Structure formats: structure tokens, C-alpha cells
């Protein structure tokens, strides 16, 4: 029992060491998974390279990525951490927007081509 109580105390101490900024959803980790993991020394993100597991890992990284990044990399302060993760997030959203635009353009091109060929 005492071992269990001590491990709970250690987990509580570890959780308090993580700032509030590192307990939020991480869009950079969600969108960029393994690339984000390499940049933030979070090797568990490499599981995103496994088909099907990558879908689950995107959500796991989004939810827990900030905490892992805070613990795995040496940050000067919370402001630096927030700034860098904000850049990852912006880049991830930029890639998502780029893919969305490319998909819309592809659909338009397919519709126009289909109409010209078959109509």
C-alpha cells in the first residue's frame, strides 16, 4: 500500500510541475504527428507511422502532446514553450488549409473534366 501511495504522490508532483499552457490541446501535434514528435523529442509520436495507429495517435498527441513536449525538452520558460508550440500549431493549420484548398481544386478539376468528356 505504501508503494501505491508514494507513486500517487510522485504523479501529483509531476502533474503540478507541468504548467497550464502544457495541459491544453496541441494542434501542431495533432496535425503534424511524427514530425512534431521529432522536433519536440517525443519519440512516442513515431507510432504515427504505423497505419491505422496513426489515426488514434493524432488524437492522443493532440491531447497529451503538450505535456510530453514540456517534459521531454528543456525549455527556458513557459513563454518560450507557448511561442514554439504556437508556431507548430500555425504551421499545422497552414498545412491543413493547403490540403483543403488542394482537395477543393481537385474536385473542381474532376467535375469540369467529367463534364467535358462525357457530356
pTM for this one?
Answer: 0.76
Q: What are phi and psi of 40, to 5 degrees?
A: -115, 15
How many CB atoms within 10 Å of residue 92?
Answer: 21
pLDDT digits (tens, 9 = 90+) for 101-118: 999 999 999 999 988 887
pLDDT digits (tens, 9 = 90+) for 54-107: 999 999 999 999 999 999 999 999 999 999 999 999 999 999 999 999 999 999
Amino acid at each position: 500500500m505504501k508503494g501505491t501511495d508514494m507513486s500517487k504522490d510522485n504523479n501529483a508532483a509531476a502533474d503540478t510541475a507541468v504548467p497550464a499552457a502544457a495541459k491544453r490541446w496541441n494542434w501542431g501535434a495533432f496535425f503534424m504527428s511524427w514530425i512534431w514528435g521529432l522536433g519536440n523529442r517525443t519519440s512516442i509520436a513515431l507510432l504515427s507511422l504505423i497505419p491505422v495507429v496513426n489515426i488514434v495517435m493524432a488524437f492522443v498527441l493532440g491531447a497529451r502532446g503538450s505535456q510530453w513536449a514540456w517534459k521531454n525538452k528543456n525549455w527556458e520558460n513557459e513563454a518560450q514553450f507557448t511561442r514554439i508550440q504556437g508556431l507548430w500549431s500555425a504551421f499545422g493549420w497552414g498545412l491543413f488549409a493547403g490540403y483543403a484548398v488542394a482537395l477543393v481544386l481537385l474536385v473542381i478539376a474532376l467535375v469540369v473534366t467529367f463534364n467535358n468528356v462525357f457530356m
